[in-house]
Structure 1
Amino acid sequence: MNTMRKVLVPVIVFSSFGLQAMTFDQLSKSLDESTQVIDCRSSNYYNGWPEIGAKQGGHYPGAVNLDAQWLGMIEDSAFKQLLVDKQLKVDQPTYLYCAQADSQRVEKALLSQGFRSVKAIEEPLSNYSGSLTALPQFQQLVSPEWVKQVIDGQQPLYAPKKGYKLVEVAWGPPTKYLVSHIPTALYLNTNNIETKPLWNRVSNEKLTTLMQDLGIRYDTTVILYGRDNMAAARAASIMMYAGVEDVRLLNGGWKSWVNAGFASEPMLQKTDKVMDFGRDIPANPELIIDMAEAKAILDGAPQNNSLVSIRSWDEYLGKISGYHYIKPKGRIPGAKWGHGGSDANSLEDFRNPDDTMKSADEIEHFWHQWEIDRDQKVSFYCGTGWRASETFFYAYVMGWKDISVYDGGWYEWSGIKTNPTLVGPA
């Protein structure tokens, strides 16, 4: 990440222009289309994890997530762009809620950007009598605090039922892992789940052996994280394909663990092997598809099917291939652009400033613009599967049902000369 500087807030006395103190129930009765509500807590609480002492997790319906902690992570220009991305308007009445010190920071930052009417809701969200909004599968996207409790032998909400394995995932030898990793974490080299020449998933036989070597059965809870969570998500999609019933992803990856201030440990962790995965692999073959199935999606009605390109806009247009080892440029005809990042190694469109998952509302907003909807058969692809896998996992926790990863992606498709390709404007 580039060197960052905190958002600068001038020492000026601002006015909220008469916004009245409000409770959540009062807000519900007076809410109209012009009112904006900001949840300035952690995205994990926003997604559905209850705060300490609360019985229900999630966010006030329609609230936009803008974690107060992000203010110290981004430059002024990035903060302005964040407000644009979240469709927050300076001239609309804005209510926000989080811890008092955090809400004061966010309020000042918003007012410094020209927001005219900002007011903090001072009562706890738990006082709200209505139903909160949460990701349907929020428990699969876990916080560093949850992981810490599991490691410490506690029984947090949605704790593993039949043992767990914590695994750091990356490409190549465990160089960084050996210096410092989350305590008890094993290491998985992505070369053990992908194979040349196309970097597709390895054979079912090799997957079976890998699961046994890691000590993973189908009913083991597997918690995955990466220095870049694309690698961890690639492993997640393959393990779900294999048949692991409870796969968790650490929201924000390694960075979130470090930001939480938790301890790490060096050296390699070893695990006891298991003799049997417990079921035939793949138990869920529909989660990762190959070229014939991708073509079948394209041949179906566009309103019922979406083959989704998770690549940069320049890759989609064919200005670049995105990879030094992939020469052809362009896109698969009929594929819809599902967004990505600035290049083949980035996924900014799906990540908050702390690398946690963006809100479902934000993601679905730009998908709807490309007629990508949750009631369709949807398969995600990128160059070789990493970006598509992270997006697939986000769609999974968002409650999307008929989803998959097209394993071969652009690398496989473009390598066959008889396959049609497109370049230029969509």
Structure 2
Amino acid sequence: MPIPADPLVSTAWLAEHLDAPDVRIVDGSWHMPAAQRDPKAEYDRVHIPGAVFFDIDEIADETSDLPHMLPSPIKFAARVKKLGLGDGSRIVVYDTSGILPAARVWWEFRAMGHEDVVVLDGGLPKWIAEGRPVDDLVVAPQERHFTPRFQADIVRSLDQMKRNLETGREQVVDARAAGRFTGRDPEPRAGLRGGHIPGSRNIPLSALLAPDGTMLPAEKLAEVFEAAGVDVARPVAATCGSGITASVVALALARLGRPRAAVYDGSWTEWGGRGDAPVATGEA
């Protein structure tokens, strides 16, 4: 029962494999603080049967002043082990947005060396709209050993992004809304400059999704990247506000057969908050 090569699976696929012994379901929901929503409380009220909750803000680097940065491999392994997510697990991640933080969880597992992970296309909204089962039962997973194998090639740091300004080895794709990218609209986090990393291209999250919240098919995604001036055959580093929406860009590239796109973990929260990082404004 192999998981398809596509990094997304349909609600129909998950419904068919809901009780498969090696499938583990993860709710990776997260919201901006301004939304005043508690994703864990929402999970407690309704979730796909058997799903465990992955707390993006808690399974993070507690020593960083930046939001939800990747934790150490040791911390990550310890946390997901308790969630019953380990070696041999086929992990399906969803969220209450459709496709957003689930992509971040997908990328984090892959950054820690676990490749058998996919995102539920359309997430919980599509699942519920189709009348598929949900419950509010407490899930008590059996611990499962997780062996972390950190994949540095799909993670980017501030220093690496600065060096890329000189080398131009990677194309930088920014997933923030166009107004934030150009510097026309203010950032939702206080204290950040407006604009973008010089030389980057803008592909807002909305350009990657269909009206029903599912991801566009591969042929449409290819058109979006081409229209933005991005050559998908060349290396890409994705960025956004805090490393979550950037993961959707990485997910889209994986759907196009380019699974090793990197994510700049600190993203604009780090870059835009530092005086030593150059900023460009206006269109790409």
Do they superpose with TM above 0.5?
yes
- What is the CA distance between 1:225 and its match in structure 2? 0.1
- What is the CA distance between 1:173 and its match in structure 2? 5.1
Give the equivalent residue in structure 2 for 1:390. Answer: 248
Counterpart mapping for 1:188-337 below 5 A: 188-195=54-61, 197-199=65-67, 200-228=69-97, 229-274=99-144, 276-278=145-147, 280-282=148-150, 284-301=151-168, 305-337=170-202
- Picking from 143, 148, 153, the partner of 2:15 is 148
Q: Residues 103-161 of structure 1, C-alpha deviation per residue, up to 9 Å, x if partnerless?
A: xxxxxxxxxxxxxxxxxxxxxxxxxxxxxxxxx932x31111111111244xxxxxxxx
Structure 1 distance, partners of 2:90, 2:58, is: 20
Contact 2:225/2:232 (8 A) holds in 1: no
- What is the CA distance between 1:325 and its match in structure 2? 3.3
Query: Aligned AA for 2:65?
Result: P
Contact 1:321/1:330 (8 A) holds in 2: no
Query: Aligned AA for 2:109?
Result: M
Contact 1:177/1:267 (8 A) holds in 2: no
Counterpart mapping for 1:1-400 below 5 A: 137-138=5-6, 140-153=7-20, 163-171=22-30, 172=38, 174-195=40-61, 197-199=65-67, 200-228=69-97, 229-274=99-144, 276-278=145-147, 280-282=148-150, 284-301=151-168, 305-337=170-202, 339-340=203-204, 347-400=205-258
Q: 1:170 aligns to what SS in structure 2?
A: coil
Query: Aligned AA for 2:86?
Result: R
- When Rg is computed on C-alpha atoms for both structures, the one with the higher figure is 1
**Seq. identity, %:** 25
Contact 2:242/2:267 (8 A) holds in 1: yes
- What is the CA distance between 1:376 and its match in structure 2? 0.7
Q: 1:248 aligns to what SS in structure 2?
A: strand
Change beyond 3 A, Cα 1:315–1:261: same
Q: Residues 235-263 of structure 1, C-alpha deviation per residue, up to 9 Å, x if partnerless?
A: 11001100112001100000121122112
Change beyond 3 A, Cα 1:137–1:298: farther
Give the equivalent residue in structure 2 for 1:26. Answer: none
| Unpaired runs of at least 5, structure 2 | 31-37
- What is the CA distance between 1:295 and its match in structure 2? 2.5
- What is the CA distance between 1:267 and its match in structure 2? 3.1
- What is the CA distance between 1:165 and its match in structure 2? 1.2
| Unpaired runs of at least 5, structure 1 | 1-48, 50-135, 154-161, 341-346
Q: Residues 344-371 of structure 1, C-alpha deviation per residue, up to 9 Å, x if partnerless?
A: xxx3211112110012232222322333
TM-score by structure 1 length? 0.60
| Relative contact order, higher structure (CA 8 A, sep 6+) | 2
Query: Aligned AA for 1:313?
Result: A
Structure 1 distance, partners of 2:46, 2:260, is: 38
Structure 2 distance, partners of 1:181, 1:389, is: 23
Give the equivalent residue in structure 2 for 1:64. Answer: none
Contact 1:385/1:409 (8 A) holds in 2: yes
Change beyond 3 A, Cα 1:152–1:221: closer
Contact 1:218/1:245 (8 A) holds in 2: no
Contact 1:290/1:406 (8 A) holds in 2: yes
TM-score by structure 2 length? 0.88
- CA-based RMSD: 2.1
Structure 1 distance, partners of 2:81, 2:71, is: 15
Q: 1:190 aligns to what SS in structure 2?
A: coil
Structure 2 distance, partners of 1:167, 1:326, is: 33
Structure 1 window deviating more from structure 2 (246-255 vs 389-398): it is 389-398
- What is the CA distance between 1:296 and its match in structure 2? 3.1
